[in-house]
């Protein structure tokens, strides 16, 4: 929900913990926070960084710093203070009292962007649920500012009784959204099962937000997928068919971009979209090779992949946007077929990429001739079901079928035929 002013003014606040190992520096992380804010139509007018050993339990930043921040907000007429880390409900409350502006954390900002981006029923439900769960412990008096977050959910005003009603209302809504989500997901599972029956291998594109996943999907498959220079452009993953050089087909799916400090419960909320990744036969990790923080972004993505327990799925690192890299280091991406440099935008190096995809997929599907008696049409039908039938030949007494199938199916069928 937008307030009346078109562009809100914000101060971005980061904490630099002196003895903690961090991936992105506080400055880099704030730079990203600023891009996120812009995506949410918020202008960051200044940044404030504080060094501390650990966050202040009540104010996150020190109490003195909070007072200083309140003056800055007033002087620069900020409407909002955005903190780069997740704040506890109590910290948010205290800070709002001290600063007298809306206080958001990274999670709130990401939720706001997700809310604008969600298109499908499932994504909408996921975002609404995540927002409600975020809102519930934070619902205290200042319902007005929070209502922007809740997308209008929650009633305005304050008062203990009203607060209790709001809380109950939100709990009920959480239950309702969960019920609806279960339904929508069931339908999604059914369509996945249908896809499985078609037996096309599934390739999942994953990567840091803005790496170029959607661009790659649309250029590879000649479909129209919107790509935009915005963070979290894709919230509703798309699927498209891809033909490989051998002529065999596969399905490519886009996914939600990852980001540093993506709060855990948001990862959980989007787990459903990531289920595609869990079931993928091949993962293309799309990397923005022109980013100044390429290594950190790779690491952030790999961390999320680890939590999905998909180490065994073959992965190709696709270094995208090489058209933007001056002097690319030839050693960097030369580990074929595990690393490929491309430019999705210019379709540069696509033939290499397609070859690598085919190589990787074939490693895991086997080609084989099966021969069985002519009356066993059922076996032929089964091969159609579990694999890709490449050729069929009828002799006087037998059928010869040439297929490409998953190795476990190959074993099972071979054993059955031997036992007959
Ligand atoms: N120069 C250059 N720009 C690219 C290339 N591929 C993508 N882009 C640009 O990078 C921006 C992000 O592209 P998307 O395809 O939307 O990125 P994404 O990974 O889908 O992003 P999210 O959906 O937000 O996670 C767009 O402005 C693209 O035009 C490339 O090969 N070269
Ligand atoms: Mg995208």
Say if ligand 1 is within 6 A of residue 232 CB: yes
* pTM of structure: 0.74
Using CA atoms of 384, 389, 395, 396 in order, give the dihedral in degrees to the nearest 10. Answer: 0
Looking at residue 419, what is its pLDDT?
78
Residue 229 C-alpha to ligand 2 middle, in angstroms? 9
Looking at residue 159, what is its pLDDT?
61
Q: Which residues of the chain have pLDDT under 50?
A: 1-5, 142-157
Residue 72 C-alpha to ligand 1 middle, in angstroms? 36
Question: Rounded to whole angstroms, how far apart are CA atoms 45 and 82?
Answer: 11
Looking at the CA of 209, name the nearest ligand.
1
Chain mean pLDDT for the chain: 83
Say if ligand 1 is within 6 A of residue 315 CB: no
Q: Please check if 235 is assigned to a binding site.
A: yes
Question: Rounded to whole angstroms, how far apart are CA atoms 328 and 388?
Answer: 39
Looking at residue 5, what is its pLDDT?
47
Quickly list DSSP for 236-286: S--EEEEE-TTS-EEEEE--PPB-TT--HHHHHHTHHHHHHHHT-SEEEEE
Retrieve residue 355's tokens: 């070859």
Residue 271 and residue 265 in contact, taking contact as beta carbons nearer than 8 Å: no
Ligand 1 nearest atom to the CA of residue 254, by list position: 20
Say if ligand 1 is within 6 A of residue 131 CB: no
Greatest pairwise CA separation for the chain in angstroms: 92
Say if ligand 1 is within 6 A of residue 255 CB: no
- Give the start-to-end residue ranges of the domains of the chain: 8-104, 118-182, 199-362, 366-419
Looking at residue 406, what is its pLDDT?
79
Residue 298 C-alpha to ligand 2 middle, in angstroms? 16
Residue 254 C-alpha to ligand 2 middle, in angstroms? 7
Residue 319 C-alpha to ligand 1 middle, in angstroms? 12
Question: Rounded to whole angstroms, how far apart are CA atoms 121 and 304?
Answer: 24
Looking at the CA of 320, name the nearest ligand.
1
Ligand 1 nearest atom to the CA of residue 207, by list position: 19
Distance separating the N- and C-terminal Cα atoms of the chain? 67
Residue 277 and residue 271 in contact, taking contact as beta carbons nearer than 8 Å: no
Q: Please check if 94 is assigned to a binding site.
A: no
Looking at residue 337, what is its pLDDT?
81
Looking at the CA of 232, name the nearest ligand.
1
Q: Please check if 345 is assigned to a binding site.
A: yes
Looking at residue 177, what is its pLDDT?
93
Domain 199-362 falls in which CATH fold?
Answer: Rossmann fold (3.40.50)
Retrieve residue 146's tokens: 């929070």
Looking at residue 272, what is its pLDDT?
60
**Domain at 8-104, CATH class:** alpha beta
Say if ligand 1 is within 6 A of residue 177 CB: no
Looking at residue 20, what is its pLDDT?
66
Residue closest via CA to ligand 1's atom 2 equals 321
Q: What is the pLDDT of residues 113-153, one digit of tens each?
A: 888 877 778 888 888 998 898 888 887 654 444 444 444 44
Fold identical between 8-104 and 199-362?
Answer: yes
Residue 226 C-alpha to ligand 1 middle, in angstroms? 10
């Amino acid at each position: 929900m937008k307030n009346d002013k078109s562009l809100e003014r914000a101060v971005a606040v980061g904490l630099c913990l002196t003895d903690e190992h961090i991936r992105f520096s506080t400055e880099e992380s704030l730079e990203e926070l600023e891009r996120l804010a812009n995506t949410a139509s918020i202008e960051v007018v200044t940044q404030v960084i504080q060094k501390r050993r650990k966050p202040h339990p009540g104010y996150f930043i020190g109490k003195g710093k909070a007072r200083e921040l309140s003056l800055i907000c007033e002087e620069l007429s900020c409407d909002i203070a955005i903190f780069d880390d997740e704040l506890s409900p109590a910290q948010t409350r205290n800070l709002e009292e001290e600063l007298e502006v809306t206080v958001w954390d990274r999670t709130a900002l990401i939720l706001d962007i997700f809310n604008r981006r969600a298109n499908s029923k499932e994504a909408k439900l996921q975002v609404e649920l995540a927002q409600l769960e975020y809102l519930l412990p934070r619902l205290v008096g200042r319902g007005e500012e929070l209502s922007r977050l809740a997308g209008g959910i929650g009633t305005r005003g304050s008062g203990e009784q009203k607060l209790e009603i709001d809380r109950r209302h939100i709990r009920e809504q959480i239950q309702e959204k969960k019920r609806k989500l279960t339904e929508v997901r069931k339908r999604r599972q059914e369509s996945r099962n249908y896809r499985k029956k078609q037996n096309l291998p599934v390739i999942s594109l994953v990567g840091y937000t803005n790496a170029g996943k959607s661009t790659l999907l649309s250029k590879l498959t000649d479909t129209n997928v919107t790509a935009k220079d915005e963070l979290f452009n894709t919230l509703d993953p798309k699927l498209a068919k891809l033909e490989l050089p051998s002529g065999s087909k596969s399905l490519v799916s886009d996914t939600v971009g990852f980001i540093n400090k993506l709060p855990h419960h948001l990862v959980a909320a989007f787990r459903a979209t990531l289920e595609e990744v869990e079931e993928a036969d091949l993962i293309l990790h799309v990397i923005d090779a022109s980013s100044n923080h390429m290594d950190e972004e790779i690491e952030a993505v790999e961390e999320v992949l680890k939590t999905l327990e998909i180490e065994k799925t073959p992965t190709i690192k696709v270094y995208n946007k090489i058209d933007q890299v001056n002097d690319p280091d030839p050693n960097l991406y030369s580990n074929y077929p595990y690393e490929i440099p491309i430019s999705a935008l210019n379709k540069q190096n696509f033939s290499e990429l397609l070859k690598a995809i085919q190589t990787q997929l074939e490693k895991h599907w086997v080609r084989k001739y099966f021969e069985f008696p002519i009356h066993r049409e059922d076996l032929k039908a089964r091969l159609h079901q579990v694999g890709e039938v490449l050729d069929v030949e009828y002799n006087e007494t037998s059928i010869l079928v040439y297929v490409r199938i998953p190795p476990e199916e190959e074993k099972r069928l071979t054993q059955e035929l031997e036992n007959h």
